[in-house]
């Protein structure tokens, strides 16, 4: 008999694990599987972390984080995202993903329903299932835009929240202000909370970012330092929302986290003083990959933001078959099933450098031109 809790049945990180294994097996892998930006943490941020250590700023901070950092985040949310927000309504967490679990623990009871758009960032449904909530999936195929009538139709008297992620992982879809206003109006009508994960807000091309929290007060806005500041390993994120909810999360933080890393928080404060300008560089990579994929015959939906493109595998290959074919050519992709209940797609990440993207495009052209596997050949 196993000692492991049944809760773990909801997690299957096998596809990510396999991508990492392939990376180590291949002599010179072309890695489009990673969900991290190519930049390194900036020198001034590293220096601020080192200074914090040297100046013994290494004890617990308040459970909700350093006041200066919360104040800087609140200012940013007011100035850039048009939220109504004070430092007290912000809480610092050790990464957005841990923050999501805290939000769920604070708000969801077993049997509560939560609406998640498919494809999704895997923790949205799986953490909710783990704590006994019921996940209602709404497919966003084929455009990766949420279908508003489907949202309405899926609401019951147990529905508590809708999770939104724009720009989106894994599709790169960006939801327009119009769409977000409609979602806000549905949420208001049914008294639902909205969780808005905006971690890719600065990776956006040709369309503007809109924060649903600016028009709908029952929004929990989540963000973090991992992507914009290339600080994935520092583990620093934040949550802003209605005071009652932030207070409940802070209560949990006291028992679950004690405090986020003081060193990361001091580094984060320095990070916010010099915002990196990534849009031009990432737009170049985005435009290159989109153009090349279209030339190979791929139909691109989404891909207005983040650094991901989610494409359908050619020849009706399954996502795993396509990822396997790709790895035969040294190219590492994550099969779409890691992000979706719909099969047949793969995620390409252009977080990586231009040279890798150029190699990836050459490999993809060869893989795409391969004949279909025997099981899909029409023998008539």
The CA distance from 371 to 307, in Å, is 29
Determine the Cα–Cα distance for residues 171 and 14; give it in Å rounded to an integer. Answer: 20
Q: What residues between 220 and 279 interact with ligand PLP by CB under 6 A?
A: 224, 226, 232, 237
Q: In angstroms, what is the minimal distance from the CB of 132 to ligand PLP? A: 22
49 binds ligand PLP (CB under 6 A): no
Angle at CA 62, nearest 5°, toward 64 and 232?
60
Tokens 């639902």 label which residue?
192
Q: What are the tokens at 135? A: 């996940």
SS (H, E, C) 37-103: CCCCCCHHHHHHHHHHHHCCCCCCCCCCCCHHHHHHHHHHHHHHHCCCCCHHHEEEECCHHHHHHHH
Q: How far is the CB of 27 from ligand PLP (least distance, A)?
A: 27
CB of 97 to ligand PLP, least distance (A): 3
Nearer to ligand PLP, 126 or 325 (CB): 126
**Choices 60-68, 94-102, 155-163, 204-212 (CB under 6 A): range interacting with ligand PLP:** 94-102
Q: Does 97 bind ligand PLP (CB under 6 A)?
A: yes
φ, ψ at 205 (rounded to 5°): -130, 125
Distances in Å between the Cα of 44 and the Cα atoms of 25, 54, 225, 236, 269 are: 35, 15, 14, 16, 11
Segment near ligand PLP (CB under 6 A), from 95-103, 105-113, 171-179, 348-356? 95-103
Q: Report how far residue 203's alpha carbon sits from residue 247's, in angstroms, rounded to the nearest whole number.
A: 31
Q: Which of 30, 72, 96, 271 binds ligand PLP (CB under 6 A)?
A: 96
- Distance, CA of 229 to CA of 42 (rounded, Å): 8
Indicate the residue among 240 and 317 with the shorter CB distance to ligand PLP.
Answer: 240
Nearer to ligand PLP, 30 or 222 (CB): 222
Q: Which is nearer to ligand PLP, 121 or 322 (CB)?
A: 121
What is the size of the binding site for ligand PLP (CB under 6 A)? 13
Closest approach of Cβ 238 to ligand PLP, in Å? Answer: 9
Check binding of 41 to ligand PLP (CB under 6 A): no
Q: Say how far residue 69 (Cα) sits from the centre of its chain.
A: 22
Q: Which is nearer to ligand PLP, 262 or 349 (CB)?
A: 349
Q: At its nearest, how many Å lie between ligand PLP and the CB of residue 365?
A: 27
Residue 195: CB minimum distance to ligand PLP, A: 11
Alpha-carbon separation of residue 240 from 38, 71, 97 (angstroms): 28, 11, 14
Among 33, 61, 169, 265, binds ligand PLP (CB under 6 A): 169
- Residue 101, φ and ψ in degrees, nearest 5: -60, -40
Give the single-character DSSP code of 374: G
Which range in 92-100, 259-267, 270-278, 334-342 contacts ligand PLP by CB under 6 A?
92-100
Binding to ligand PLP by residue 95, rule CB under 6 A?
yes
- 91 vs 97 by CB, closer to ligand PLP: 97
- Min dist. Cβ of residue 120 to ligand PLP (A): 9
Give the single-character DSSP code of 200.
T
How many other β-carbons are positioned within 10 Å of the β-carbon of residue 17? Answer: 10
Residue ranges in contact with ligand PLP by CB under 6 A: 35, 95-97, 121, 165, 169, 197, 199, 224, 226, 232, 237
């Amino acid at each position: 008999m196993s000692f492991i809790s049944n809760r773990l049945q909801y997690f299957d990180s096998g596809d990510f694990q396999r991508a990492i294994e392939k990376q180590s097996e291949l002599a010179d892998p072309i890695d489009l599987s990673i969900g991290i930006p190519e930049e390194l943490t900036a020198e001034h941020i590293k220096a601020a972390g080192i200074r914090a250590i040297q100046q013994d700023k290494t004890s617990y901070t308040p459970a909700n984080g350093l006041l200066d950092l919360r104040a800087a985040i609140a200012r940013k949310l007011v100035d850039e995202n048009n939220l109504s927000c004070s430092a007290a309504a912000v809480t610092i967490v050790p990464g957005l993903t841990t923050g999501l679990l805290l939000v769920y623990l604070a708000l969801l009871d077993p049997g509560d329903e939560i609406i998640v758009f498919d494809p999704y960032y895997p923790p949205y449904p799986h953490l909710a299932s783990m704590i006994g909530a019921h996940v209602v999936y709404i497919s966003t195929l084929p455009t990766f835009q949420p279908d508003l009538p489907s949202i309405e139709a899926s609401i019951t008297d147990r529905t508590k929240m809708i999770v939104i992620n724009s720009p989106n992982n894994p599709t790169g879809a960006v939801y327009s202000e119009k769409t977000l206003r409609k979602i806000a109006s549905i949420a208001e009508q049914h008294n639902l909370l909205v969780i808005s994960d905006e971690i890719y807000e600065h990776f956006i091309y040709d369309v503007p970012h809109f924060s649903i929290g600016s028009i709908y007060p029952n929004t929990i806005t989540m963000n973090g330092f991992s992507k914009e500041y290339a600080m994935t390993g520092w583990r620093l994120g934040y949550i802003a929302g209605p005071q009652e909810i932030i207070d409940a999360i802070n209560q949990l933080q006291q028992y679950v986290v004690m405090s986020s890393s003081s060193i990361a928080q001091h580094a984060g404060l320095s990070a916010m003083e010099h915002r990196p300008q990534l849009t031009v560089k990432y737009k170049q990579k985005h435009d290159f990959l989109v153009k090349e994929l279209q030339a190979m015959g791929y139909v691109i939906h989404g891909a207005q933001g983040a650094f991901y493109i989610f494409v359908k595998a050619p020849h009706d290959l399954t996502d795993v078959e396509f990822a396997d074919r790709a790895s035969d050519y040294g190219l590492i992709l994550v099969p779409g099933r890691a992000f979706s209940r719909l099969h047949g797609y793969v995620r390409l990440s252009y977080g990586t450098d231009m040279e890798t993207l150029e190699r990836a495009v050459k490999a993809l052209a060869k893989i795409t031109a391969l004949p279909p596997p025997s099981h899909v050949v029409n023998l008539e």
